[in-house]
Amino acid sequence: MSAPTIWEHVLAALVGLVLPISGAIQHLGRRGSEPETFEPAQKISMYWINGGVLLVLGAAAVAAWRHAGRSFAELGLAAPEGRLALGAGLAVLVIAAHALDTWSKTSSPERLAETRARWRRESAFMPATPRELRHSCVLLLGASVGEEIVWRGFLIGYLLHFTGTTAAGTAAAVALPALVFGLSHLWQGPAAVVKIVFFAACMGAILLATGSLWIPMAVHFTVDLVGMLMGPKLLAEGVEAERA
């Protein structure tokens, strides 16, 4: 990879420092406070704004990458090749782990009640109605495309310039963005951060194994879609039960 440009340094500082620090401040500000509630209009606005921001960040990463004279393929925007079996195996592992985690949270009435209470406390922004679910698609697109381009394709490639391609250097280039990505979601709680770091590290490994972001994007889309689809069941039913 050629030397990073000033624009890439700025983007790396934004996603590597500013967003994680912002997430930490937001989490600390919520500690001890009452759970947040969102009106439908607020949720829809959040979906469009956050999804739009992620897509803009992804576009900025692509623009900065191309401005430096590098190809789309070097960013991971190419068909998967190389160690496809390893990439597919990691993809199956992530989806299976997410499915098992989802099942464990909903496998009994008691666990379902606990999960519903936790979601209403920590994830009240998730869609609770079919209308909200439709509008959340823009956030789903922004996350699965924009986040993968920025935190995997761009940031891993950026760090590899400094760490080198030795085993230790490659591991660091995958682990650091995964940690940053997890910390930027600290507002979801420490337990969620651990899962997100694992998820991000697997997405980075898939990118390096296949040379492509298409599989990470597909896995990211699938995992987030399951979460979005759980929203109406966990949030809407919880509200109805409370009113009853």
pLDDT tens-digit profile of 70-106? 999 999 999 999 899 999 999 999 999 999 988 888 8
Q: Name residues whose C-beta falls within 8 Å of residue 89's C-beta, 6 or more positions apart in sequence.
A: none
Query: What pLDDT score does 216 carry?
Result: 96
Question: What tokens appear for 210 in the block?
Answer: 């296949």
What are the φ and ψ backbone dihedral angles of 32, each rounded to 5 degrees? 80, -5
Query: What pLDDT score does 32 carry?
Result: 58
Stretch 223-239: mean pLDDT, rounded?
78
CB atoms closer than 10 angstroms to residue 42: 12
pLDDT tens-digit profile of 22-53? 777 776 766 656 667 788 999 999 999 999 99
Is residue 239 over pLDDT 50? no
Query: What pLDDT score does 237 carry?
Result: 56
* 165-173: long-range contacts, CB 8 A cutoff, minimum separation 24: 170/208, 173/204
Let me know if 173 is exposed, middle or buried by CB neighbors in 10 A (0-12, 13-18, 19+): buried
The better pLDDT of the pair 143, 114 is held by 143
Domain residue spans of the chain = 6-71+81-243
Query: What pLDDT score does 241 carry?
Result: 43
Whose structure tokens read 């697109």?
141
Question: What tokens appear for 150 in the block?
Answer: 């920025």
Is residue 210 over pLDDT 90? yes
**Helical segments of the chain, H only:** 6-13, 19-30, 40-67, 72-75, 84-106, 109-122, 130-135, 137-141, 155-163, 167-183, 190-210, 214-231, 237-243
**Residue among 3, 1, 10, 2 at smallest CA distance from 61:** 10
What single-letter amino acid sits at 19?
L
Q: How far is CA 9 from CA 16, 51, 52, 143, 161, in A?
A: 10, 23, 22, 22, 12
Give the whole-angstrom CA distance, residue 156 versus residue 31: 32
Report yes or no: 133 and 127 within 8 Å, Cβ to Cβ: yes
Query: What pLDDT score does 244 carry?
Result: 40
